[in-house]
Amino acid sequence: MDESLDRKNLIVMKLLHYFITEKNYNPIILQGAEDEIWLENLENDYKIIRIVSNHIHNEEQLDFDLYKARHVIKKIKKKTFSLKMNALSIFTDLGDNVDLADTGDIDCIYLYDEKDINKYDFLYQYFPDINKKLKFSEEGLQLFIKITNDINHKNKADAQRVEEVFKPKKNVVTIGLIAINVLVFIFMTLFGQYDNMINKYAVYGPFVVNYHEYYRLITGTFLHANIFHLIFNCYALYIIGTQIENFMGKWKYLVIYFVSALTGSLLSIILNDAASVGASGAIFGLMGSLLYFGYHYRVYLGSVLKSQIIPLIIINLFIGFASGGSIDNFAHIGGLIGGCLATVAVGVKYKSTKFEMINGCIVLLLLIAFLFFMAFKYTG
């Protein structure tokens, strides 16, 4: 290898080591992207880091390079539902007449070696330890072996985390919830208890507020109007519930389900005069949970969010509004919001911070308190 190639390989390897092992960036696989490496971390201020080892001869080649980069960034924004995506392009081989002073919406720097970091003070605002972390005691082959091993170890650990979250698990909670709904319906119909159960346990605002029958806010979500209502909700619960149980875990799933049932029932008694039954408010909460989870793992579920989850929510809400009142869409909306906030509160594994979870708990408690206040103020 010539000196230039050794020098470029060295700075590229050091940068990869820093951004992957220290700042949790992940490589992006792009077809046709030669002599450049793309990294992403959607939780960082710079969501995209681009390391370019190709020789940029002149301003025209730089403009074309950045034009292609903007096109790729635009596609990544759509896939990851990002409104804004700050990007940093790090060039390692520039011609003497190439000026990086005005490159528009992509920040650009030129690093001949790690010492050039000191030319860009703004980097320390985002990566305050970068100068120190690019220095190694190892040299030559030992340095390459260390960097390669560290990167491989980090990528392996990340892959194991993702596998742990997404691998199929036993869905005992979902099956249990379905079984309760089915058994309650069988008891109602076969033993002539339909009217009695509806009168005693359905979600109905005046009885909740005036007689303090708060249990109705939950019991009503296990009652169903007819066999078709039951089958539809149980099928939806099986499809969506198994996903949330897999992704979030059993206890978090239960919290999300019952919080969604509660917030759905509360919004229903505020805005709906009639009695309400059915698990659909809680199921919409699971949709909200899946939406929040999918946003955090949008690198893996971005296309699913766009093509399945969001359309499913929109279509079902539209059907509810078009039903002329036969479907309690207020319970759906309340459950959707409650499920999303409950997921913020319990946290997404390997993604949520304690700060986010505490804020989620506070907002969720405020929402529930507000819904109770509105229920007692306007229902009776």
Q: Which residues are catalytic?
A: 280, 332
Greatest extent of the chain over all pairs of C-alpha atoms, in Å: 89
Hey, what's the torsion of the CAs at 51, 53, 56, 57, to 10 degrees?
Answer: 160
Which structure tokens are listed for 363?
């907002």
In 3D space, the residue among 127, 48, 37 whose CA is nearest the CA of residue 87 turns out to be 48
Which parts of the chain fold into alpha helices (H)? Answer: 3-17, 59-80, 123-126, 130-133, 140-166, 172-190, 194-201, 205-210, 216-219, 227-248, 250-271, 280-296, 298-304, 310-322, 329-346, 354-378
Which structure tokens are listed for 305?
């969010």
* Separation of alpha carbons 142 and 147, rounded Å: 9
Task: Report yes or no: 328 and 278 within 8 Å, Cβ to Cβ.
Answer: yes
Adjacent-strand bridge partners of 109: 90
Structure letter (DSSP) for residue 105: T
Strand, helix or coil for residue 364:
helix
Long-range contacts of range 141-146, CB-CB < 8 Å, 24 or more positions apart? 143/10, 143/13, 144/13
The full DSSP string for 322-363 is HTTTSS-HHHHHHHHHHHHHHHHHH--TTT--HHHHHHHHHH
